[in-house]
Chain A
Amino acid sequence: MVAMDLSEMEVVYQHPHALVDMYTHFCPGCTHGVAHRLVAEVLDEMALSERTIGVASVGCSVFSYNYLNIDFVQAPHGRAPAMATGVKRVLPDHIVMTYQGDGDMISIGAGEIVAAAGRGENITVIFINNANYGMTGGQMAPTTLPGMKTSSSPNGRDVEQAGYPILACELLSTQQGASYIARRSLHDPKNIRMAKKAIRLAFETQVRGLGFSMVELLSTCPTNWHMTPVKAVKWLEEKMIPYYPLGDYKVHPTISELKV
């Protein structure tokens, strides 16, 4: 490769300030990292880091407090929305976000998330849906697709026995207190750009005091899906998106008029 004089060039993209420059525990190709980066970019762009408090959850999401360069508290499994509520009610001028996986948010924490949405709690939830429990080794999650094999559904999820996936956006968008509910995917450049815009709008919702905001990010788990990262993004596109349609499920009128 021909060496180029970097000082003569403009930086098109660099590591966001709100993301700590450190090696993560994520497996190669895991799109948790993309989600972290997008959150960090939005925090940088909106200059929110100095007044944001993150609430980490349990699962692969647990170490978000190490990776995002903001104050953090770490919640028991599923309880992040409740803990975020406690922070927000005491510090209403601060920005409070939770970062939760699917097992955390819509299985063990289903009560807390629905209650927070119903209350119109003015917090932002970043919800990573990778269709399994990643941290514990790929067990069936509430989001596991019908027929999908996991370590605890070795013959594929049998809906007769284990029921159907829970559709978080569809569920939460029915709550009057919810102001921004969107589902995006992290499988390709175009969708990653759209995911970032959704994260931006979710934080814009909170900054404006409009109530509960949540962005569901369809995400890969190459290790537990037993695929290469490249195959995993293809699988996400082909299998997950048909089940979890992308789009805006609820957008407050003020936000729908916003240009970002």
Chain B
Amino acid sequence: MPLKGTIVVNENLCKACELCVVACPQHVISLNKEIITPRGYHPAHLAEEGCTGCGTCALVCPEAAITVYREKRLIQGQEA
């Protein structure tokens, strides 16, 4: 089972270019039409479950607006 991940988008930096939306291998990022930032953008957000924390969105983000988190990987013999 793939690890679970999530992203936090800095809405002050995001310019809604959609590069992360297209790049996401899980197709779980979209622009959040519910929000308009002070600069007038619908920022990107994690819209659906399925994020694996792969970091691809952050890799293509020109604004360094995305922080990526992932479940800690369990190493054999160690407690969770």
Q: Is the CB of B66 within 8 A of A13?
A: yes
- Interface centre among B13, B17, B72, by most A CB within 10 Å? B17
CB distance from A8 to the nearest CB of B (A): 7
Q: Is the CB of B62 within 8 A of A32?
A: yes
Residues of B in contact, count (CB < 8 Å): 40
Contact (A228, B18) CB under 8 Å given A6-B69, A12-B53: yes
Chain B 1-19, CB-CB to A under 8 Å as 1, else 0, gives: 0001110101011011111
CA of A233 to CA of B71, assembled, Å: 31
Name B72's contact: one of A8, A16, A21, A33 (CB within 8 Å).
Answer: A8
CA of A19 to CA of B67, assembled, Å: 14
Contact (A11, B63) CB under 8 Å given A28-B17, A28-B41, A229-B19: no
If over half of A's interface residues share one DSSP class (helix, strand or loop), that class is named, otherwise mixed; here it is mixed
B26 in the interface (beta carbon within 8 A)? no
Q: Is the CB of A189 within 8 A of B59?
A: yes
Chain B 47-80, CB-CB to A under 8 Å as 1, else 0, gives: 1110001111011111110111111110000000
Contact (A1, B62) CB under 8 Å given A9-B72, A12-B70, A15-B67: no
**Nearest neighbor of B25 in chain A, beta-carbon distance:** A189
Q: Is the CB of A189 within 8 A of B56?
A: yes
Residues from chain B with a CB closer than 8 A to the CB of A16 are 64
Q: Is the CB of A34 within 8 A of B47?
A: no
CA of A26 to CA of B57, assembled, Å: 18
Contact (A28, B15) CB under 8 Å given A1-B46, A33-B64: yes
Q: Is the CB of A1 within 8 A of B70?
A: no
**Nearest neighbor of B22 in chain A, beta-carbon distance:** A230
Residues from chain B with a CB closer than 8 A to the CB of A222 are 17
Chain A 1-33, CB-CB to B under 8 Å as 1, else 0, gives: 110101011111111100101011011111111
A238 in the interface (beta carbon within 8 A)? no
Name 15 extra pairs, CB < 8 A, besides A6-B6, A33-B62: A9-B69, A9-B72, A10-B72, A12-B70, A13-B58, A13-B68, A15-B67, A19-B64, A23-B12, A23-B39, A29-B18, A33-B61, A34-B61, A189-B60, A192-B60
Binding site for A on B (CB under 8 A): 4-6, 8, 10, 12-13, 15-19, 22-23, 39, 41, 45-49, 53-56, 58-64, 66-73
Binding site for B on A (CB under 8 A): 1-2, 4, 6, 8-16, 19, 21, 23-24, 26-34, 36-37, 40, 188-189, 192-193, 222, 228-230, 233
The 3 residue pairs across chains A and B that have the minimum distance between CB atoms: A33-B62, A29-B17, A28-B15
